[in-house]
Structure 1
Amino acid sequence: MKLLQALFFPPEQPGGVSSMIPYLQERFHSSRWEMEMFWLPKRIRNKGHEDPVFHTLDWKEFGESPIVAKYIQTYRDYLWWTRLRIQKPYDLIHSHHPIAGMSMKAVFPEVPLIQTVHSSYERELILNGKIREGGPEHRFLTSLYRELEYISDRLVTVSESFKSYMSPYVDQADSIEVIHNGFDDRRFKPVPHENAVPQLVTVCRLVPAKGLDILLQACAELKRKGHDYVLHIIGDGPARQELEEMAKSLGIYQETIFYGYTLHPEEFMPFFDIFVLPSRAEAFGSVFAEAALSCLALVGTNVGGIAEQIEDGVNGLLVPTEDPKALADALEKVIVDPLYRYELARTASDKAKNQYSLSRSVNQLKKMYLNYQPKKES
């Protein structure tokens, strides 16, 4: 069976897709399966001129928005690149981005399409202050869920929480399937270690949606209470300068290390003690599963896929969003009690190995893919 995994970003791009899809090929390597990946290179910009065709909305209604116009142009570029680069047919296409799925269906209308929605672009844009709720960009992006439902043979997402979020925007919400991201646990090698000073780490893009302003305020409260710690912030983004200035103004810059972008943070994540990320929204939160597999104690916000991964007080701690004091209190619990910290980390690791293994996701995908296996000619 010939499969195409259609991405938007290159497979080394950080995020939920890259945590799983590049590692699928090895698991599908057999005489029964043939899998390839496809994505839009960053150098391809403003090449496409073919107007996209939507079946469930009129995109020109929103076309005066620069953000929508950019989205449409990217769609044109993906169409152009797909027509240029893909000649041979596939038995099944599995898309991991709305633009990829819509482009693939336009070029290969007869090929079955599975569409996985990994995150909410409109929620991130709202939280990052780029668009307003209810505005044209928000309406356009939420309209795409029904379009994806229309063109897809199977609509998939990564958490029950995100399935609930998508439900008002589609016609048959019950038909959405949930398949969690899977992680190859061979990538994660917990290291026995004893840090004299607790080491906190977070890994994310530095944007308002990730709530790092709340984390810095919580860390300032920890310092005020006299707790020693080091906070490691791995990732880059438009909010970096603002966050660095905030750390200085809060008097915690000496305790905070900004690393910038790192390709494989899982290689040194096991040397830290506590993973913390107070996201304001998260469809799944792959980095929590990665931190659990690295045997770190988890502290996150009670939102989206994070709350599905963490059972408060059992395999991590959950706090409300926008609450620096609650976050500081949770961090204090795992800072002052190493045994409790270790117990949370061990339980989190066990759950991640059981529920978020790559093998489990591969088995679910194979079962799904076989429903679209071409019938042999008699």
Structure 2
Amino acid sequence: MRLLQALFFPPEQPGGVSSMIPYLQERFHSARWEMDMFWLPKRIRDKGQEEPVFHTFDWHEYAHSPIVQKYVQTYVDYIWWIRLRIQKPYDLIHAHHPIAGMAMKAVFPQTPLVQTVHSSYERELILNGRIQEGGPEHRFLSSLYRELEYVSEQLLTVSQSFAEYMSPYIERPQDIEIIRNGFDEKRFKPVPHENKVPQLITVCRLVPAKGLDILLLACAELKRKGYDYVLHIIGDGPSREELESMAKELGIYQETIFYGYTLHPEEFMPFFDIFVLPSRAEAFGSVFAEAALSCLALVGSEVGGIAEQIEDGVNGLLVPSEDPQALSEALEKVISDPQYRYELARTAWDKAKNQYSLSKSVLELKKLYLKYGTPADN
């Protein structure tokens, strides 16, 4: 079967898609399966000229918004790039971004499309202060879920909580299937280590949606109480300068290291002790599974897919979002008790290996592809 994985960003970009899709090719490499990847290069801008078609709503109602205009232009750019670059047919397309799925279906209307929705762009924009809830951009972006349902043979997402989030926007929420991201266990190599000072790590894009302001407030409280620690922040984004200034104002800049973007943080993640990320929203939270496979203790906010991965007090600690005091108290527990920290980390590692293995995801995907794929030689 000839498969195409349609991405939006290049596969080396951080995020849930990059944690799984590039590693699928090796698992599908056989006489029975042939898999390619496709994405839109960053240099492609303002190339598409054709009028976009949406089957389930009139996008012109929102056309006055610059954000909507940019989104639609990117959509037609993707169509332009497909027409230019794809010369051979595929038996099935699996898209991992709304733009990728809609564009592929526009060019190849007869090819079965499986669409995974990995996250909510509109929710991120709201949390990051870019758009208003209920505004034209929010209404446009949330309308895309129904459009994706219309053009797809199967709509997928990565967590039960995100399936529930999408449900009000589509006609058949009961048909959504959940296939969680899978992780290649060979990438993660927990190592025995003994850090005299507990090492905290977080990995994310530096935007308000990730709640790093809450983390810095919690760490300031830890320092006030006399706890030693080092906080390692891996990632970059528009909030970096503001967060660095906040760390200085709180008096914790010496305890905080800003690394910027790092391509493969899982290579050195096992040498830390505690992974912490108080996101304000998270469809799945792939980085928690990656941290668990690195055998770190997990501390996260009780939102979205994070709360599906962590059972509070069993394989990590959950705290309410927007609550630096609760986060500080949770961190205090794992900083002050190394044995408890180890027990949480070990249990998290066991669960992640059992539930989020790439082998499990591959098996589920193969069943799905055989259900909808139509090999030309059959």
Report % sequence identity: 82
C-alpha separation in 1, matches of 2:149 and 2:89: 23
Deviations 1:163-189 (A, max 9, x none): 000000000000000000000010000
**Could you tell me which residue of structure 2 aligns to residue 122 of structure 1?**
122
- What's the TM-score, normalizing by structure 1? 0.99
C-alpha separation in 1, matches of 2:377 and 2:50: 36
Q: Does the aligned pair in 1 maintain the 2:200–2:231 contact within 8 Å?
A: yes
Q: Does the aligned pair in 1 maintain the 2:299–2:317 contact within 8 Å?
A: yes
**Could you tell me which residue of structure 1 aligns to residue 81 of structure 2?**
81
**Once the 2 structures are TM-superposed, how far is the Cα of residue 50 of structure 1 from its aligned partner?**
0.9
**Could you tell me which residue of structure 2 aligns to residue 229 of structure 1?**
229
**Could you tell me which residue of structure 2 aligns to residue 259 of structure 1?**
259
1:1-378 maps to which residues of 2 (within 5 A)? 1-374=1-374
SS of equivalent residue, structure 2 residue 132: coil
Deviations 1:5-48 (A, max 9, x none): 00000000000000000000000000000000000001101111
Q: Does the aligned pair in 1 maintain the 2:91–2:375 contact within 8 Å?
A: no
How many residue pairs match? The answer is 378
SS of equivalent residue, structure 2 residue 16: coil
C-alpha separation in 2, matches of 1:153 and 1:86: 21
**Once the 2 structures are TM-superposed, how far is the Cα of residue 375 of structure 1 from its aligned partner?**
6.1
Q: Which amino acid aligns with 1:328?
A: S
Q: 1:258 to 1:375 in 2, by over 3 A?
A: closer
Q: Does the aligned pair in 1 maintain the 2:247–2:256 contact within 8 Å?
A: yes
C-alpha separation in 1, matches of 2:53 and 2:134: 24
SS of equivalent residue, structure 1 residue 221: helix
Q: Does the aligned pair in 1 maintain the 2:68–2:137 contact within 8 Å?
A: yes
Q: 1:64 to 1:227 in 2, by over 3 A?
A: same
C-alpha separation in 2, matches of 1:166 and 1:268: 35
Deviations 1:308-336 (A, max 9, x none): 00000000000000000000000000000
C-alpha separation in 2, matches of 1:299 and 1:233: 15
Q: 1:2 to 1:216 in 2, by over 3 A?
A: same
SS of equivalent residue, structure 1 residue 141: helix
SS of equivalent residue, structure 2 residue 295: coil
Deviations 1:271-326 (A, max 9, x none): 00000000000000000000000000000000000000000000000000000000
SS of equivalent residue, structure 2 residue 111: coil
- What's the TM-score, normalizing by structure 2? 0.99
Q: Does the aligned pair in 1 maintain the 2:158–2:179 contact within 8 Å?
A: yes
C-alpha separation in 1, matches of 2:138 and 2:2: 36
C-alpha separation in 1, matches of 2:376 and 2:365: 21
C-alpha separation in 2, matches of 1:376 and 1:245: 59
SS of equivalent residue, structure 1 residue 253: coil
Q: Which amino acid aligns with 1:151?
A: V
Q: Does the aligned pair in 1 maintain the 2:112–2:373 contact within 8 Å?
A: no
SS of equivalent residue, structure 1 residue 334: helix
**Once the 2 structures are TM-superposed, how far is the Cα of residue 51 of structure 1 from its aligned partner?**
1.4
C-alpha separation in 2, matches of 1:348 and 1:298: 8
Q: CA RMSD in A?
A: 0.8
C-alpha separation in 2, matches of 1:375 and 1:192: 48
C-alpha separation in 2, matches of 1:31 and 1:376: 15
**Once the 2 structures are TM-superposed, how far is the Cα of residue 372 of structure 1 from its aligned partner?**
2.2
Q: Which amino acid aligns with 1:280?
A: R
C-alpha separation in 2, matches of 1:155 and 1:374: 18
C-alpha separation in 2, matches of 1:30 and 1:372: 19
C-alpha separation in 2, matches of 1:246 and 1:119: 28
C-alpha separation in 2, matches of 1:186 and 1:154: 30
SS of equivalent residue, structure 1 residue 18: helix
**Once the 2 structures are TM-superposed, how far is the Cα of residue 351 of structure 1 from its aligned partner?**
0.2
**Once the 2 structures are TM-superposed, how far is the Cα of residue 70 of structure 1 from its aligned partner?**
0.3
Q: Which amino acid aligns with 1:321?
A: S
C-alpha separation in 1, matches of 2:374 and 2:247: 57
Q: Which amino acid aligns with 2:235?
A: G
Which 5+ residue runs of structure 2 have no aligned equivalent?
none
SS of equivalent residue, structure 2 residue 202: strand
C-alpha separation in 1, matches of 2:204 and 2:133: 24
Which 5+ residue runs of structure 1 have no aligned equivalent?
none
Q: 1:73 to 1:10 in 2, by over 3 A?
A: same
